[in-house]
Chains A and B, each alone.
Chain A
Amino acid sequence: MKATAELEAEFDPATGRTVLRRLRSMAPLTLLPQRTAGDVALVHLVNSATAPLGGDELALHVRVGPGAHLRLSGVAATLALPGQRGGVSAMAVHAEVAADGRFEHLPEPTVVTARARHHALLTAELDTGASLRTREVLVLGRDGERPGDLTTAMHVTRGETAVLRQELTIGDALLDASPAYLAGRRVLGTEVLVGGDADTVAPASGQWWSLTPLPTGGGLATVLAEDAVTAERELAEAVRHAG
Chain B
Amino acid sequence: MDSSVTGAGAVSLILADSRFPGGGHVHSGGLEEAVERGLIRDSADLRPFLAGRLRAAGELAAVFAAAAAHAAARGVTPRHWAVLDGELDARTPSAAQREASRAQGRGTARAAKAAWPSPVLRELLAETPRPHHPVILGAITGLSGGRPVDAASAAAYLAVSGPASAAVRLLGLDPLAVNGIVANLSHALDAVAARGAAVAGHDPRDLPAPGAPALDLLAEAHVRHHKEEVRLFAS
Give me the interface of A with B, judged by CB distance under 8 Å. 153, 161-169, 174-175, 177-183, 185, 188, 190, 203, 205-210, 212-216, 220, 222, 224
Contact assessment for A180 and B52 in the assembled complex, using a CB-CB cutoff below 8 Å: yes
Whether the Cβ atoms of B93 and A180 lie closer than 8 Å is no
User: How far is A6 from B57 in the complex, measured between Cα atoms in Å?
Assistant: 36
Pair B51/A182 contact, Cβ less than 8 Å: no
A153 to B211, CA, bound (A): 10
Residues of chain B contacted by A164 (CB below 8 angstroms): 90, 93
Encode contact with A along B87-120: 1 for CB under 8 Å, 0 otherwise: 1011111111010000000000000000000000
Q: Any chain A CB within 8 A of the CB of B195?
A: no
Q: Are B34 and A210 in contact (CB under 8 A)?
A: no
Q: Which of B48, B55, B94, B205 contacts A210 (CB 8 A)?
A: B94
In the complex, what distance in Å separates the CA atom of A94 from the CA atom of B40? 40
List A contacts of B53 (CB < 8 A).
Answer: 178, 180
Interface assignment of B216: CB less than 8 Å from any CB of chain A: yes
Please measure, in the bound complex, the distance between the C-alpha atom of A44 and the C-alpha atom of B114, giving whole angstroms. Answer: 60
**A210-B216 CB under 8 A given contacts A166-B211, A168-B211, A180-B52:** yes
Interface size on B, residues (CB 8 A): 42
Contacts of B212 in A (CB 8 A): 180-181
What's the nearest-Cβ distance from chain B to residue A130, in Å?
17
Tell whether B208 is near chain A: CB-to-CB under 8 Å.
yes
How near does chain B come to A207, taking the closest CB pair, in angstroms? 7
- The complex places the Cα of A47 from the Cα of B93 at a distance, in Å, of 31
Chain A residue at minimum C-beta to C-beta distance from B57: A180
Interface pair B217/A188, CB less than 8 Å apart: no
Task: Judge if B175 is at the interface, Cβ distance under 8 Å.
Answer: no
The 24 sampled A-B contact pairs (Cβ below 8 Å) are A162-B89, A163-B90, A166-B211, A167-B209, A174-B48, A175-B55, A179-B39, A179-B49, A179-B214, A179-B218, A180-B48, A180-B49, A180-B52, A180-B214, A181-B56, A182-B214, A206-B221, A210-B221, A212-B93, A212-B216, A212-B220, A213-B95, A214-B90, A215-B92
Could you tell me if A161 and B86 are in contact, using CB atoms closer than 8 angstroms?
A: yes
A166, A175, A179, A206: the one contacting B93 at CB < 8 Å is A166
Query: Contacts A180-B30, A182-B214 given: A214-B93 contact, CB under 8 Å?
Result: yes
B224 within 8 A of A: yes
Interface string of B50-62 (1 = CB under 8 A from A): 1111011100000
Task: List chain A residues, Cβ under 8 A from B40.
Answer: 179
Kindly identify, within residues 44 to 94 of chain B, every residue whose CB is under 8 Å from any CB belonging to chain A: 45, 48-53, 55-57, 86-87, 89-94
Q: A153-B209, A210-B221 are in contact. Are A220 and B52 (CB under 8 A)?
A: no
- Contact with B220, one of A165, A182, A210 (Cβ below 8 angstroms): A210
Closest to B97 in A: A212
Q: How far is the CB of A148 from chain B (nearest CB, A)?
A: 19
Extra inter-chain contacts (17) besides given A167-B208, A205-B220, CB under 8 Å: A161-B86, A164-B93, A165-B209, A168-B213, A174-B48, A175-B51, A178-B214, A179-B34, A179-B40, A179-B218, A180-B214, A180-B218, A181-B213, A203-B96, A212-B93, A212-B94, A215-B92
Specify the chain B residue showing the minimal Cβ separation from A162.
B90
> Which DSSP category, helix, strand, loop or mixed, fits chain A's interface?
strand
Contact A220 B89 (CB under 8 A): no
Quick check: A210 and B210 within 8 Å, CB to CB?
no
Give the distance in Å from the alpha carbon of A62 to the alpha carbon of B61 in the complex: 33
Q: In the complex the two chains form, is A183's CB within 8 Å of B210's CB?
A: no
Please report the C-alpha to C-alpha distance between residue A177 and residue B51 in the assembled complex, in whole angstroms: 10
- Whether B215 sits at the interface, judged by CB under 8 Å, is yes
- Tell yes or no: B181 within 8 A of A by CB: no
Q: List residues of chain A with CB within 8 A of the CB of B96.
A: 203, 212
Flag if A203 contacts B214 (CB, 8 Å).
no
Q: How far is the CA of A14 from the CA of B55 in the complex (A)?
A: 54
B211 touches A167 (CB 8 A): yes
Is B125 among interface residues, defined by CB-CB distance under 8 A? no
What is the minimal beta-carbon distance from B72 to any residue of chain A, in angstroms? 21
CB-defined contacts of A208 to chain B, threshold 8 Å: 217
A181: contacting residue among B55, B205, B209, CB under 8 A? B55
B191 at the interface (CB under 8 A from A): no
Q: Are A216 and B214 in contact (CB under 8 A)?
A: no
A188 / chain B contacts, CB cutoff of 8 Å: 213
A65 CB to nearest chain B CB (Å): 26
List of B residues within 8 angstroms of A205 by Cβ? 217, 220-221, 224
Contact check, A178 vs B48: say whether CB atoms are below 8 A apart. yes
